[in-house]
């Protein structure tokens, strides 16, 4: 298959190498031309502009993108409306927001160019190796048609549903979880320093205690389980957060995540839920 890949940064470069290894002819473009030209040594063909990449050599059957955000996707794609061959499918791996993703999919569908959003939980090495997780959403028939090639790009492809913006929504949920965990680790590190410990010593806790093992169970309890029989009462959790903040302050460290957590617990307690399990604070009020 002849494919145009637009955006050959770290992720895009990995994807292009994987596509070449899978036997595809790949035409590449990148805003910084040197990054695209570097892939010619592996067999890709670099073009000076995106329109040439999708229309050159008789046109391509599919366009893949890996860019920065919604604005960059539209800035690259919109000028290609006349250059992109009729029926060519657009597959966007960029992390974008759900609302503009839905609008973008509708706009390109009306032009006769199907648009599929397929963001990933992958790093550059995963892209080159074909490992990691890819999400995709949109028309089921189109997904089924693309699936063999998407599977060749990654370890696991998960269909998120017919609505074209569903994959974008779940990608943001996943990234929020990842970044939230990094924020928690930052507070653990700061509290540890306030207590006279370095990061290595503090994080040795996780050799014996893996809080990630509770993630699925606690998420399930937020959704459906009874919170009137608490395993960790909300008022006790709030007391613990107060202790963390006070001890960090004594050691000259400020916490970032703990204040937001305290605010969430305070809101739950203000609703009269202090006697419930702490997961009640994570539910949407109303």
122 and 205, same domain (yes or no): no
pLDDT tens digit sequence for 6-64: 999 999 999 999 999 999 999 999 999 999 999 999 999 999 999 999 997 778 999 99
188 and 152 in one domain?
no
For residue 189, the enclosing domain spans 170-282
In this structure, the answer to whether residues 73 and 203 fall within a common structural domain is no
Query: Is there a single domain that holds both residue 33 and residue 141?
Result: yes
- Residues 63 and 118 occupy one common structural domain: yes
Domain shared by 134 and 225, yes or no = no
25, with CB counted inside 10 A (0-12, 13-18, 19+), is middle
How far is it, in rounded angstroms, from Cα 265 to Cα 236? 10
Summarised one tens digit per residue, pLDDT across range 189-199 is 999 999 999 99
**Is it the case that residue 84 has pLDDT exceeding 80?**
yes
pLDDT-above-90 percentage for the chain: 95
How do residues 213-236 score in pLDDT, each as one tens digit?
999 999 999 999 889 999 999 999
Which tens digits make up the pLDDT trace of 89-129? 999 999 999 999 999 999 999 999 999 999 999 999 999 99
User: In the block, which residue shows the tokens 């890949």?
Assistant: 5
Q: Which of 114, 144, 164 is the last residue of a domain?
A: 164
Place of tokens 């250059």: 83
Residues 6 or more apart in contact with residue 141 via CB below 8 angstroms: none
Give me the chain's average pLDDT, please: 96
Q: What's this model's pTM, rounded to 2 decimal places?
A: 0.95
What pLDDT was estimated at residue 3?
97
Report how far residue 269's alpha carbon sits from residue 86's, in angstroms, rounded to the nearest whole number.
Answer: 58
Instruction: Please check whether residues 21 and 142 belong to one and the same domain.
Output: yes
Which DSSP string do the residues of 128-144 spell out, in sequence order?
HHT-SEEEEBS-HHHHH
Q: Are 60 and 85 in contact (CB under 8 A)?
A: yes
3-state secondary structure 5-59: EECCCHHHHHHHHHHHHCCCEEEEECCCHHHHHHHHHHCCEECCCHHHHHHHHHC
Last residue of a domain, one of 138, 164, 190: 164
166 with 137: CB under 8 angstroms?
yes
Whether 119 and 259 map to the same domain: the answer is: no
Sequence-ordered alpha helix ranges (H) in the chain: 10-21, 33-37, 50-55, 70-77, 98-110, 124-129, 140-151, 166-194, 199-203, 215-223, 234-250, 257-270
**Amino acid 285: pLDDT:** 78
Angstrom distance (rounded) from CA 178 to CA 172: 10
CATH number of 139's domain = 3.40.50.720
Q: How high is the pLDDT of residue 187?
A: 98
Based on the structure, what is the number of domains in the chain?
Answer: 2
3-class DSSP state of 228: coil
Provide the CATH number for the domain around residue 233: 1.10.1040.10
Residue whose token pair is 């990630």:
212
Last residue of a domain, one of 164, 190, 219: 164
Contacts of 87 (CB under 8 A, 6+ apart): 112, 113
* Cα distance between residue 129 and residue 119, in whole Å: 17
Side-chain-side CA neighbours of 8 within 13 Å: the count stands at: 30
pLDDT band at 146 (very low <50, low <70, confident <90, very high): very high
| Sign of the four-CA dihedral 266, 267, 273, 278 | negative
Contact between residue 123 and residue 132 where contact means Cβ atoms under 8 Å apart: yes
């Amino acid at each position: 298959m002849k494919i145009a890949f637009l955006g050959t940064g770290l992720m895009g470069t990995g994807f292009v190498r994987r596509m070449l290894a899978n036997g595809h002819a790949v035409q590449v473009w990148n805003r910084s031309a040197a990054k695209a030209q570097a892939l010619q040594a592996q067999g890709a063909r670099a073009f000076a502009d995106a329109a040439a990449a999708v229309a050159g050599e008789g046109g391509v059957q599919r366009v893949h993108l890996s860019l920065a955000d919604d604005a960059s996707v539209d800035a690259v794609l919109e000028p290609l409306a006349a250059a992109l061959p009729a029926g060519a499918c657009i597959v966007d791996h960029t992390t974008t927001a759900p609302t503009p993703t839905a609008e973008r999919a509708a706009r390109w569908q009306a032009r006769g160019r199907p648009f599929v959003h397929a963001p990933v939980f992958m790093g550059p090495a995963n892209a080159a190796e074909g490992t990691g997780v890819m999400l995709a959403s949109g028309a089921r028939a189109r997904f089924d048609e693309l699936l063999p090639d998407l599977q060749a790009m990654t370890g696991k492809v998960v269909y998120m549903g017919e609505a074209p913006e569903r994959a974008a929504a779940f990608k943001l949920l996943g990234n929020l979880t990842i970044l939230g965990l990094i924020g928690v680790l930052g507070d653990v590190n700061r509290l540890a320093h306030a207590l006279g410990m370095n990061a290595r010593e503090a994080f040795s806790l996780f050799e014996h205690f893996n809080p990630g093992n509770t993630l699925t169970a606690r998420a399930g309890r937020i959704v459906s389980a009874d919170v009137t029989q608490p395993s960790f009462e909300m008022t006790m959790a709030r007391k613990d957060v107060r202790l963390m903040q006070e001890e960090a302050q004594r050691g000259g460290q400020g916490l970032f995540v703990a204040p937001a957590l305290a605010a969430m617990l305070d809101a739950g307690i203000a609703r009269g839920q202090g006697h419930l399990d702490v997961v009640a604070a994570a539910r949407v009020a109303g």
